[in-house]
Chains A and B, each alone.
Chain A
Amino acid sequence: MLANLSYRHKTPLAMGLVIVVAAAVVAAALVWQGYRQARADFVTHSQALGKTLARTVRPALLHDDVWQAYEILLTPLERSGDPGRALVLLDARGLVFAASEPRQFAVLDDFVHAAEEPAIAAALARPEVRAQVQVEDGAGRFLYILTPVLAEDGTLLGRLVQRYDQALFGPRLGEVATGTVYAALAAVLLLLPLGWLAGHRLAEPLSHLADCLARVGRELPEPIRCEFPHGRDEIGQLAERFRNMVEELRNKQALERHLAQSDRLAAVGRLSAGIAHEINNPLGGMLNSISNYRRRGGTDPQAEKTLALIERGLVQIRDTVSALLVETKLESRALTPEDLEDARTLIHADAQHKGLTLDWRNGVAETLPLPSAQVRQILLNLLLNAVAASPEGDAMLCVIERSGDTLRLAVGNAGPAIPERRRQHLFEPYFGEGEVHGLGLWVTYQLVAQLQGEIRVDSVPGHTRFEVVLPLHGGVGG
């Protein structure tokens, strides 16, 4: 049952429980302490009262004035007949001189006899004791404070006995307890919401993590976006691991997608190359036959017209197939900075026609061990695509730089983003409506692949950027 409860509730509940228990324990300790303090205060106060009264009743005792002594004894009592308190003035013989409770302690009665308390008898039996004495009776019911009444010369004139019922402390305990309980309640009422909040805040990242973990597997890693407070505590570590895990899943998924695409492209490449070879052989024969036939002459105009038609069709087939078939050119001259500048010159007219400005940053000033024809074509293709995608009058960027053992070509334009559907098959042969063919990127990809390089694309609205990285020690350029 408890194990099934969420920490979202369990932690605040535990906090609340701890607060309530702590408040109860503190309140109990305070009540006990307060009671003891109140009792100690009471005794101190009573002792001071006893000393004052003992001095005040001295003249009455000396002058044998029972009434005056009685009135003095009554003064500190809030109401007559208070059963909890009794003040008794004894003469030097231990007989009652006057008492606040005359019915209980009648004048000239033997106090020890009236009190029926051996502890008091023992205390009174020592007249040499001149100090104030505090005595508790055997049953623990009464507290006695005995104060000697002394003459100026120190002679014992009598004793003042204050008797307090211990039950008097009951209401005091009640008062202390009530006050403390109210204070504790107020503290609990104040602390409970705080504790609940703190518990909730403590448990919240854990619950959040659990929620996020639960989404892994149900959803693709891409949309899983979970925010956690930073820190090195356990939750922070868990969150860090979780982020790493999602990141790895994400990379794995991207890699899988990339591999699938590469495989597909490779398969398409092999297929198209095979088909191209199969077509090229008979095609070459057919074109040769037409050429031979013409060379012999004597063809009538009608036949010549038909041959021309067939030849144009065959040439178109050959052009298309050769575009599909990205062949390694035999020419493998090393790439010079002039080759790169040529691409700029070639694109210049098209760019000017659309009113584009080209930000050209060529950082290559030496000959590089790369086949010049392929690199020129890659760069030209990317530039032509950028010119086509750029809105009129906008700017283009081309960065060429050597970075370690690689050559990096980056071409950016400010055109609209490439639609997601198109991006899935960006580097595949494309025969869409409105274009003659979409083989530019296919060819580029094939060239890059032959040079063991990489091609990447970032495309957001207003900014599309193709980046090609070619290793300088690839197998082809050598």
Chain B
Amino acid sequence: MTDMTRRRLLSALALAGLPGLVRASGPEPGAGSPLLFGTTPVILDEQADFLARWRVYLETQLRRPVRFVQRGSYREILVMLAGGKLDCAWLCGYPFVRMKDRLDLVAVPVHGGQTVYRSYLIVPAGDGATRSILDLRGKVFAFSDPDSNSGWLVPQVELKRAGQDASGFFKKSFYTWGHRKVIEAVAAGLAQGGAVDGYIWDSLARLHPELTGATRVAWRSGPYGFPPIVARRGADEGHPLRQALLNMARTPPGQALLARLNLDGFVPGDPSLYDGIEANWRFLGV
């Protein structure tokens, strides 16, 4: 929590009109300076070839360099974004609602014709009995990331709704710091259950059916706003980036990239899309 406090303080300072102070170590403004774009495991961001192609597309559209920044956890990206070391990022809806007052919504991906996704509760394929997270009492459970809606907030809320104390419910729980790794942990039998981004699971089911085939989706949550692309509030980069993203569905290279992402395209979106996540956050009271 001390991390969080420091980050909030830092962000507050930045937003309170002392950007120079914070940006001293950040990139220089101007046409030549790169757009720093943070990515998180809300997409399959381990595909370097895809990111290289996407960068070329964005640089062509924006007429400025783009640099993708990847980190081991959501939190590091959030800290960098709050600290002004990133211009924009592809985040989960959960951190977005927590930092809503400091972030602008740039675009929302469209998946399967909708701007929503679900959290999946997955179990090893051999487990045919589990129907809900409540069946996993005393088992080993894998969360993806404490800052993930689908990989942490949704199962926590489910347990609390059922009146369970999450801290003692499982025999053991651990974070894998990525949705894909949750699937791997459950597939290998390291965990008997896991919470994962439904969009990631579906995408992997197309790319690596042998991996997802070792797991079974035991429960699907209700719809939540799809992980959005956000920019620091007040940053100049938001608008051109939004245009570039919206244009992707209209150009062949953009369509090819969207196909790799298993997405239909981007829409401007509305912050109210994430009200469900915010409600869960408030309900959990963390």
Q: Looking at the complex, which one of A65, A80, A99, A103 makes contact with B174 (CB distance below 8 Å)? A: A65
**0/1 string, B185-205, CB within 8 A of A gives 1:** 100111100000000000000
- Enumerate chain B residues within 8 angstroms of A108, measured Cβ to Cβ: 140, 171-172
B169 contacts partner chain A, Cβ-Cβ < 8 Å:
no
Q: Looking at the complex, which one of B175, B176, B190 makes contact with A107 (CB distance below 8 Å)? A: B190
| A106 adjacent to B177 (CB under 8 Å) | no
- Enumerate chain B residues within 8 angstroms of A80, measured Cβ to Cβ: 188
A24 contacts partner chain B, Cβ-Cβ < 8 Å:
no
| B189 adjacent to A106 (CB under 8 Å) | yes
B142 contacts partner chain A, Cβ-Cβ < 8 Å:
yes
What are 17 A-B contacts defined by CB distance under 8 Å? A65-B174, A66-B140, A66-B174, A67-B175, A67-B176, A67-B181, A67-B190, A70-B185, A80-B188, A102-B188, A102-B191, A103-B189, A107-B140, A107-B172, A107-B190, A108-B140, A108-B171
Further contacts, 8 of them, CB under 8 A, given A102-B188, A106-B140, A106-B189: A66-B140, A67-B177, A99-B190, A103-B188, A107-B140, A107-B171, A107-B172, A108-B171
A70 to B, closest residue via Cβ: B190
A217 to chain B, nearest CB (A): 91
B182 to A, closest residue via Cβ: A67
- Enumerate chain A residues within 8 angstroms of B188, measured Cβ to Cβ: 70, 80, 102-103
| B171 adjacent to A98 (CB under 8 Å) | no
- Enumerate chain A residues within 8 angstroms of B181, measured Cβ to Cβ: 67, 71
A64 to chain B, nearest CB (A): 7
**0/1 string, A76-110, CB within 8 A of B gives 1:** 00001000000000000000001100110011100
Q: How far is the CA of A106 from the CA of B188 in the complex (A)?
A: 10
Instruction: Determine chain A's interface SS by DSSP, over half rule.
Output: loop
Q: How far is the CA of A458 from the CA of B260 in the complex (A)?
A: 114
- Enumerate chain B residues within 8 angstroms of A107, measured Cβ to Cβ: 140, 171-172, 190-191
- Enumerate chain B residues within 8 angstroms of A70, measured Cβ to Cβ: 185, 188, 190
A95 to chain B, nearest CB (A): 10
- Enumerate chain B residues within 8 angstroms of A66, measured Cβ to Cβ: 140, 172, 174, 190
Q: How far is the CA of A98 from the CA of B189 in the complex (A)?
A: 11
B144 to A, closest residue via Cβ: A67
**0/1 string, A97-140, CB within 8 A of B gives 1:** 01100110011100000000000000000000000000000000
Q: How far is the CA of A67 from the CA of B145 in the complex (A)?
A: 12
B142 to A, closest residue via Cβ: A67
3 residue pairs, one from A and one from B, having the closest CB atoms: A66-B174, A103-B189, A102-B190
**0/1 string, B18-53, CB within 8 A of A gives 1:** 000000000000000000000000000000000000
Q: How far is the CA of A102 from the CA of B171 in the complex (A)?
A: 15
Number of B interface residues in the complex (CB < 8 A): 14
| A102 adjacent to B175 (CB under 8 Å) | no
User: Which chain B residues in 137-185 approach chain A with CB under 8 Å?
Assistant: 140, 142, 171-172, 174-177, 181, 185
Given contacts A67-B177, A67-B185, contact A98 B190 (CB under 8 A): yes
Q: How far is the CA of A73 from the CA of B171 in the complex (A)?
A: 21
A67 to B, closest residue via Cβ: B176
- Enumerate chain A residues within 8 angstroms of B191, measured Cβ to Cβ: 102, 107
**0/1 string, A39-83, CB within 8 A of B gives 1:** 000000000000000000000000011110011000000001000
Q: How far is the CA of A330 from the CA of B188 in the complex (A)?
A: 139
Which of B142, B177, B188, B191 is most buried by chain A, counting CB atoms within 10 A of its CB? B188
Q: How far is the CA of A473 from the CA of B120 in the complex (A)?
A: 141
A222 to chain B, nearest CB (A): 95
Q: How far is the CA of A99 from the CA of B189 in the complex (A)?
A: 10
| A67 adjacent to B140 (CB under 8 Å) | no
- Enumerate chain A residues within 8 angstroms of B140, measured Cβ to Cβ: 66, 106-108
Which of A67, A80, A98, A103 is most buried by chain B, counting CB atoms within 10 A of its CB? A67
- Enumerate chain A residues within 8 angstroms of B176, measured Cβ to Cβ: 67
| B174 adjacent to A67 (CB under 8 Å) | yes
- Enumerate chain A residues within 8 angstroms of B190, measured Cβ to Cβ: 66-67, 70, 98-99, 102, 107
Q: How far is the CA of A247 from the CA of B181 in the complex (A)?
A: 101
Q: How far is the CA of A102 from the CA of B187 in the complex (A)?
A: 10
Q: How far is the CA of A161 from the CA of B162 in the complex (A)?
A: 40
- Enumerate chain B residues within 8 angstroms of A71, measured Cβ to Cβ: 181
Q: How far is the CA of A99 from the CA of B172 in the complex (A)?
A: 14
Q: How far is the CA of A66 from the CA of B191 in the complex (A)?
A: 10
B128 to chain A, nearest CB (A): 16
Q: How far is the CA of A70 from the CA of B176 in the complex (A)?
A: 10
Q: How far is the CA of A137 from the CA of B198 in the complex (A)?
A: 45
B188 to A, closest residue via Cβ: A102
A186 to chain B, nearest CB (A): 44
- Enumerate chain A residues within 8 angstroms of B172, measured Cβ to Cβ: 66, 107-108
- Enumerate chain A residues within 8 angstroms of B142, measured Cβ to Cβ: 67
A98 to B, closest residue via Cβ: B190
Q: How far is the CA of A470 from the CA of B140 in the complex (A)?
A: 131
A47 to chain B, nearest CB (A): 26
A80 to B, closest residue via Cβ: B188
Q: How far is the CA of A107 from the CA of B188 in the complex (A)?
A: 12
B178 to A, closest residue via Cβ: A67
- Enumerate chain B residues within 8 angstroms of A103, measured Cβ to Cβ: 188-189
A13 to chain B, nearest CB (A): 61
Q: How far is the CA of A66 from the CA of B174 in the complex (A)?
A: 6
- Enumerate chain B residues within 8 angstroms of A67, measured Cβ to Cβ: 142, 174-177, 181, 185, 190
Which of A71, A99, A107, A108 is most buried by chain B, counting CB atoms within 10 A of its CB? A107
A33 to chain B, nearest CB (A): 39
B168 to chain A, nearest CB (A): 14
User: Which chain A residues in 301-345 approach chain B with CB under 8 Å?
Assistant: none
Which of B171, B174, B191 is most buried by chain A, counting CB atoms within 10 A of its CB? B174
A144 to chain B, nearest CB (A): 21
- Enumerate chain A residues within 8 angstroms of B177, measured Cβ to Cβ: 67
A73 to chain B, nearest CB (A): 10
- Enumerate chain B residues within 8 angstroms of A99, measured Cβ to Cβ: 190
B185 to A, closest residue via Cβ: A67
B182 to chain A, nearest CB (A): 9
Which of A65, A71, A102, A106 is most buried by chain B, counting CB atoms within 10 A of its CB? A102
A415 to chain B, nearest CB (A): 109
